[in-house]
Structure 1
């Protein structure tokens, strides 16, 4: 039996839609897009997310050497479709030890990326992109700027915009953020590509 959906902003409990409202509701944050329990890393899970996604499902391709896809998650329901997608990856960092990475695409206002980043708001905040970008990656073959955001101290947070949606790249430990800045990542939208994706064990980072 799958766990219940939670709030995308605090990962707390939410109230289901009722005869009075079609929205999911968090006592702390009001009406929200429900964050669904994570999907294990498998081709079947990928199909579930990509078929209902109204936002991109981003994957760095080719994957950095030694990296594996370690799960999927989403915010949305059957009525609205997937309005935030999360792809989890794990592998060796450029420094000693393993690393974890979440790539998140979400509609403005959902707040899932900010929650994973450790922010209180639903977005990166005003002025986050006032200076030069801290990293550039390719998104569907186009250079895309990302800026560092000060989130929780145990992770590195980069955020930008692609196809009208927020694009978050969040790495643990903080030193693993150099992967985003230096690895020349190229993101593909899994809704449009059938790739032979290598899978690993389910990432605990998806629990929020």
Structure 2
């Protein structure tokens, strides 16, 4: 990635052309999360989080895509906790993004920036595989074919893609139960617990 310079006011990739940068933090805390959610709130952009968090789960990362010139085009938030179906921790990453950003697809291990034909076919041929609530509204999600080490659900909320990427794959079971996603840009619970940084928003 090349930063803006005298020749261009946009961040640029040598292969893709103008590309908004991904901003990640090395650690997570209430102050760091608030800095991101305040920025998102100014633009009406959601930052989705499981709420209430399941027992033993913590918020472990936040990221956003954009720059001062173009604003925010995607946000991501990671949660980590114990999974009764696997040994060791499980991670869930929630991504809200505009069309053609590609952060959700990257985390999902899929080519292309958007879920595309796979989601269109699923939505026409099957019932939703998960039904979460976003901002109090029912939101259907469909499971995509992805690498074996993760499970991925995708749908639409507030006019943007909503991705839920679970590591390892069995951790996706959490989304088969009724769950609520809270937009932290709208309201950040004071009871949020923070943990060590998730590797999925670091690499």
Would you call these one fold, judging by a TM-score over 0.5? Answer: yes
Which deviations, in whole Å up to 9, do the C-alpha atoms of 1:129-174 show, x marking residues without a partner? 2322111001111110001112222110100000011100000001
Is 2:175 aligned against 1:180? yes
Could you say which residue in structure 2 is the equivalent of 1:3?
none
- SS at 1:45 equivalent: helix
The CA RMSD over aligned residues, in Å, is 1.4
TM-score by length of 2: 0.90
Is 2:28 aligned against 1:33? no
The 1:160–1:52 alpha-carbon spacing in structure 2 relative to 1, beyond 3 Å, is: same
Which deviations, in whole Å up to 9, do the C-alpha atoms of 1:52-101 show, x marking residues without a partner? 11320111111112111011111111222222111111001140322011
Could you say which residue in structure 2 is the equivalent of 1:122?
113
Could you say which residue in structure 2 is the equivalent of 1:100?
91
Q: Quick one: distance in 2 between partners of 1:41 and 1:76?
A: 19
Say which structure is richer in helix. 2
TM-score by length of 1: 0.88
Q: Quick one: distance in 2 between partners of 1:39 and 1:161?
A: 29
Q: Quick one: distance in 1 between partners of 2:130 and 2:35?
A: 31
Q: Quick one: distance in 2 between partners of 1:62 and 1:82?
A: 26
Report how many residues are paired.
194
**Any unmatched runs of 5+ in structure 1?**
1-13
Is 2:102 aligned against 1:111? yes
Q: Quick one: distance in 1 between partners of 2:11 and 2:147?
A: 27
Could you say which residue in structure 2 is the equivalent of 1:4?
none
